[in-house]
A and B are shown apart, each in its own frame.
Chain A
Amino acid sequence: GDSVTQMEGPVTLSEEAFLTINCTYTATGYPSLFWYVQYPGEGLQLLLKATKADDKGSNKGFEATYRKETTSFHLEKGSVQVSDSAVYFCVPSLGGNKLVFGAGTILRVKS
């Protein structure tokens, strides 16, 4: 069935390190792909999205490219900050009028 596999955390990095959080999906067809972020004590917010193959979503220095060949949508940032510490969710649109969120990946950035 349709599903998403996201890198398990927590991921702990030093400030200014390069970040990659892996995300792969299995789906019939070509879903839209989203990254949501949840900062401590807050609700989730949409970070970036891509709606078709080879699209690159970007926001706040984060990027992710929709790779149809590898069914992946990895999240990257060149230089993380302490303020990027949060939980990151990779979410494909798997049909219906709803999203299915996994447990997410916890990112901790140390100064």
Chain B
Amino acid sequence: NAGVTQTPKFRVLKTGQSMTLLCAQDMNHEYMYWYRQDPGMGLRLIHYSVGEGTTAKGEVPDGYNVSRLKKQNFLLGLESAAPSQTSVYFCASGIAPYEQYFGPGTRLTVT
């Protein structure tokens, strides 16, 4: 099992560009999450999904969109990147909400 994988690992964007981060899990988990981690601020939840075809907003959803068309994939989109979105992004999945398995992270820099 690969567990939770994230693509890409690193990315540099210019302000205003768009991109999609892909999260994939092979554990048949219902729950999937996108977080961002910034120095001194812990992890903040962006969006999450409780099953295929569902999405919900987390703590900091503005500027991001998500889709869960297939159970194993959870996509995070940035339509018009801003420097404030420079961060490390983590995806997680779980069979239950409180036991989450995390991916290795994507380091995004917006210049």
Are the C-beta atoms of B41 and A103 separated by less than 8 Å?
Answer: yes
Q: How far apart sit A96 and B56, CA to CA, in the bound complex (Å)?
A: 11
- The size of the chain B interface, using a CB distance under 8 A, is 26
* A1–B57 CA distance with the chains assembled, in angstroms: 20
Residues B48 and A98 in contact, CB atoms below 8 Å apart: yes
Interface residues of B in 10-43 (CB under 8 A from A): 31, 33, 35, 40-43
Number of contacting residues on A, CB 8 A? 20
Distance in angstroms from B61 CB to nearest chain A CB is 12
A93 with B97: in contact, given A103-B40, A103-B41 (CB under 8 Å)? yes
A82-106 interface (Cβ within 8 A of B) = 89, 91, 93, 96-104
Within the complex, what minimum Cβ distance (angstroms) separates A9 from chain B?
11
A59 CB-CB contact with B under 8 Å: no
Tell which of A46, A96, A104 touches B100, judged by Cβ atoms closer than 8 Å. Answer: A46
Q: A98-B58, A103-B41 are in contact. Are A49 and B99 (CB under 8 A)?
A: yes
Give every chain B residue within 8 A of A17 (Cβ-Cβ): none
Annotate A64-96 by CB proximity to B: 1 below 8 A, 0 otherwise.
000000000000000000000000010101001
Q: CB of A44 within 8 A of chain B? A: yes
Contact call A42/B104, Cβ cutoff below 8 A = yes
Which residues in B have some Cβ–Cβ distance to A below 8 Å? Answer: 4, 31, 33, 35, 40-45, 48, 50, 56, 58-59, 90, 92, 97-105
| 15 A-B pairs (CB sep. < 8 Å) | A43-B4, A43-B92, A43-B103, A43-B104, A43-B105, A44-B90, A46-B99, A89-B42, A91-B98, A97-B50, A98-B33, A98-B45, A99-B97, A99-B100, A103-B41
